[in-house]
Amino acid sequence: MSAISLTFVDWLIIAIYFTFVLGIGFYLKKYTRNQEDFFMAGRKNSSWVAGLAFLSANLGALELLGMTGNTFKYGMSVAHFYWIGAIPAMLFLGIYMMPFYFSSRIHSVPGYLKLRFDEKTRVLNGISFAVMTLLVSGINLYAMALVLHTFLGWNWDVSMWVSAVTVMVYVGLSGLMSAIFTEIIQFFLIWFGLFLVSALGIIEIGGLDKVFANLEPSLRTLWSTTSDPSQNGMLISWAGIVLGLGFVLSFGYWTTDFLVVQRAFSAKDLRSARMTPITASFFKMGIPFLVIVAGLVAIILSRDPSSGFALLSDQGQVNYDSALPLLIARYYPNGLIGLGVTALLAGFMAGQAGNVSAFNTVWTYDIYRSVINRKASDEHLLWMGRVATVVGVAVSLVTAYWAKSFPSIMDYMQAIFSWVNAPLFATMLLGMFVRWITPNGAFWGLIAGMGSSFTLFLAVKYNWIDATTLTLSNTASDMAANFWRAWWAWLICFVLTIVISLFTKRKPDEELVGLVKGLTPEVDTGHIPYYRKPGFYAILSLIVLVALNIYFW
58 touches 260 (CB < 8 A): yes
The pLDDT, as a whole number, for residue 366 is 75
As a three-state string, the secondary structure of 425-477 is HHHHHHHHHCCCCCHHHHHHHHHHHHHHHHHHHHHHHCCCCCHHHHHCCCCCC
| Cα–Cα distance, 175 to 170 (Å, whole number) | 8
d(CA 432, CA 112): 10
Three-state DSSP class for 314? strand
pTM, two decimal places: 0.77
d(CA 482, CA 460): 10
pLDDT of residue 106: 65
Q: Tell me the mean pLDDT per 10 residues along the chain, length 553.
A: 64 78 67 52 63 72 74 84 89 84 69 86 84 76 71 71 72 60 71 81 87 82 81 78 85 77 75 86 86 88 81 69 80 76 72 73 79 79 80 80 64 73 88 91 94 88 81 74 86 95 92 80 65 84 92 84
φ, ψ of residue 313 to 5 degrees: the values are -140, 150
pLDDT of residue 46: 65
User: What pLDDT does 40 receive?
Assistant: 47
State the CB neighbour count (10 A cutoff) for residue 383: 15
At 315, phi and psi to the nearest 5? 55, 45
For residue 284, the number of C-alpha atoms closer than 13 Å in the C-beta half-sphere is: 31
CA–CA distance, 170 with 174 (Å, rounded to integer): 7
Predicted pLDDT at 175: 54
Among 21, 405, 344, residue whose Cα is nearest residue 183 = 21
d(CA 502, CA 133): 33
Beta bridge partner(s), residue 33? none
Residue 525 CB coordination number (10 Å): 16
DSSP string, 36-77: HHHHHGGG-B-HHHHHHHHHHHH-SHIIIIIHHHHHHHH-GG
Instruction: Tally DSSP H helices, then E strands, for the chain.
Output: 25, 2
Asked if residues 445 and 493 have their Cβ atoms less than 8 Å apart, the reply is yes
DSSP secondary structure string, 385-401? HHHHHHHHHHHHHHHHH
Task: Single out the residue of 38, 280, 4, 17 nearest to residue 152, CA to CA.
Answer: 4
Looking at residue 406, its pLDDT comes to 60
CB-based burial label for 495 (10 Å; 0-12, 13-18, 19+): middle
Residue 41 has a pLDDT of 45
In the chain the domains, ranked by start, together with CATH numbers, are: 8-551 (1.20.1730.10)
Report whether 441 contacts 501 (CB < 8 A): yes
Residue 541's pLDDT is what? Answer: 92
The residues that bridge with 313 in the sheet, in sequence order, are 318
Is 222 strand, coil or helix?
A: coil
